[in-house]
Structure 1
Amino acid sequence: MELKIVEVTPENVKLETLFCIKDITNPGFENKRKWFEKRHKEGLRIKILKDSDDKMIGFIEYVPASYAWRPVEAANFMFIHCMYVYSKKDRNQGLGSLLVTDAEKEAKAMNMSGICVMSSKGAWIANKGIFEKNGFTQVDQRGRFELLSKKWDKQAQEPILLDWTAEQKKYQGWHLLYADQCPWHEKSVFDILNVAMEQGIELKVTKFKTPEAAKRAPSGYGVFSLLHEGKLLEDHYISATRFRNILKKEMQLQKK
């Protein structure tokens, strides 16, 4: 199978799309496109793996760690935001490794000390297995999130995860924090906000607009957090039905 890696740029983004959202008329696409355009100047890159028929197989998004939208500290490292191979039949064939290698090559070309990534066995983030196959080792862990690193500068300090739990107590009442790093966040926020209004819940919504804000997020994922009275309830986007179930559970707890 003949493969190629295509770089998405602000100039070709509507032609190549953003992989995880392909409908350029979707409001989520436009939000991510605008976000991407700003972040591209900071070194963020999106690469799409395609076959000879121009069919999209997978993608990777990475950025210098100083501009990462995750609670991570990794001086002079590249950081992988997302990496995904869509079809199950295409997995375990080394295709994800092609994308990881691409990010590693760019990090070396930029004279960086190494490359790192967050992984998890839970939802919405890659499992660490693919990275371990490519020479990454785990250097930190908080909750369900692991931080893996591969460095070629042996003198470089290992990346660390910042303590997002320390940020949670400051969010009293109902809070929803998110960023446009994921194009599906806007729909989730819209649905959650509508349910909150239906139920008479005062929900404060905050959109992160800088990587610095995301690094200080109250969740490991960084770009989506739903909290109530200083407690993290969800760290990835959810449906209106899921939020209704959360409200029901929280109300039952309050009655006890």
Structure 2
Amino acid sequence: MSQLQIVEVTPKNVTKETLFCVRDISNPGFESKRKWFAKRYKEGLRMKILKNADDKMIGFIEYVPAEYAWRPIDADGFIFIHCIVVYSKSDRNKAHGSMLINEVEKEAKAMKKHGLCVMTSKGTWIANKSIFEKNGFTQVDKRGRFEFLSKQWHPSADPRLLDWTLQQKKYEGWHLLYADQCPWHEKSVEALLNTAMDFDIDLKVQKIETAQEAKNAPSGYGVFNLLHNGRLLEDHYLSATRFRNILKKELKK
């Protein structure tokens, strides 16, 4: 453990340290996330990368004051963890994830926050709750496939999930709403638009530009939403192949 180091990514060193998920600074997704990160940094968003003695990246964590979280949550006074990843399976039983969570907890306590909170799921593109339960988090809310966990050290009302299903009916036709919080969305949006053209589908694309817009998104994940006639079809990154299969199924109805 003593050979590990946690490096804070800032707008000034981001091209050197990269964004972990996308390390190639020439990738269009990197530039989209970099610009998003620079704006959000002013709102308190932080990203830290865990490295070994050889300067190899092992994992990372991204977090933000919950008032500025890009998920449909109500958790004022808390720090919200957007993402946590330990890349290699061989590293996942070495307490590296706990090390990153503990780093955020120390900061949150220094900031006099009520506690930490996080959205988890057994699905893709989001962390499983087990790592957080090992670190003292308990489930305080649940909606669909998403669980909401918190760890509190100051008395406060429990954080809660907002009802994103209330937002879905207003999206008639085909809609894709996304944000640059995930650097892979840029690639997905391009693939989905090209596929929609192949099927002569009018896919209306809208970029989510603020945390408040993300809180009012029509899915639990918040930053990626594919809808058709008021129904949520997917809430995370999609490939062209997956979208093609969705289109075939929907067009048969």
Q: TM-score range by the shorter chain?
A: over 0.9
- Provide the C-alpha distance between the structure 1 equivalents of 2:129 and 2:241, rounded to a whole number of angstroms: 30
Structure 1 runs (4+) deviating above 4 angstroms are none
Residue 177, structure 1, aligned to residue 142, structure 2: no
- The CA deviation string for residues 55-83 of structure 1, in whole angstroms up to 9 with x for no partner, is 00000000000000000000100000000
Q: CA deviation at 1:197?
A: 1.2
Correspondence for 2:49? 48
Tell me how far apart the structure 1 counterparts of residues 92 and 203 of structure 2 sit (CA, whole Å).
40
Q: CA deviation at 1:230?
A: 0.4
In structure 2, the residue matched to 1:74 is 75
How many Å apart are 1:198 and its aligned residue?
Answer: 1.6
Deviation by residue 1:133-178 (Cα, 9 ceiling, x = unmatched) = 0000000000000000000012x11100000011100101000000
Amino acid at match of 2:247: L
- Name the aligned partner's letter for residue 205 of structure 2: V
Residue in 1 aligned with 2:201? 201
1:53: how far off?
0.4
TM-score, scaled to structure 2: 0.99
User: In structure 2, the residue corresponding to 1:47 is in which secondary structure?
Assistant: strand
| Amino acid paired to 1:178 | Y
Q: Which residue type is aligned with residue 164 of structure 1?
A: W
Q: How far apart, in 2, do the equivalents of 1:234 and 1:30 lie?
A: 25
1:1-256 counterparts in 2 under 5 A? 1=1, 2-154=3-155, 156-253=156-253
What letter corresponds to residue 171 of structure 2 in structure 1?
Y
In 1, Cα distance between equivalents of 2:230 and 2:93:
40
Could you state the TM-score of these two structures normalised by the residue count of structure 1? Answer: 0.98
Offset of 1:252 from its aligned partner? 1.2
Distance of 1:24 and 1:10 partners within structure 2:
13
Cα RMSD (Å) of the superposition? 0.6
Q: In structure 2, how many angstroms separate the alpha carbons of the residues matched to 1:19 and 1:98?
A: 17
The Cα shift of 1:103 comes to: 0.8
Counting matched residue pairs gives 252
* 1:105 counterpart letter in structure 2: K
The one-letter code sitting in structure 1 at the alignment partner of 2:180 is D
Q: CA deviation at 1:52?
A: 0.4
Structure 1 residue ranges without an equivalent (≥5): none
Separation in structure 2 between the aligned mates of residue 91 and residue 227 of structure 1, nearest angstrom = 35
Separation in 2, partners of 1:82, 1:75: 19
Q: Identity of aligned pairs, percent?
A: 71
User: 1:199: how far off?
Assistant: 1.2
Looking at structure 1, the residues matched to 187 and 52 of structure 2 have their Cα atoms a distance apart, in angstroms, of: 31
Letter of the 1:168 partner, please give it.
Q
- The gaps in structure 2 that reach 5 residues or longer are none
Query: CA separation in 2, counterparts of 1:242 and 1:129?
Result: 28
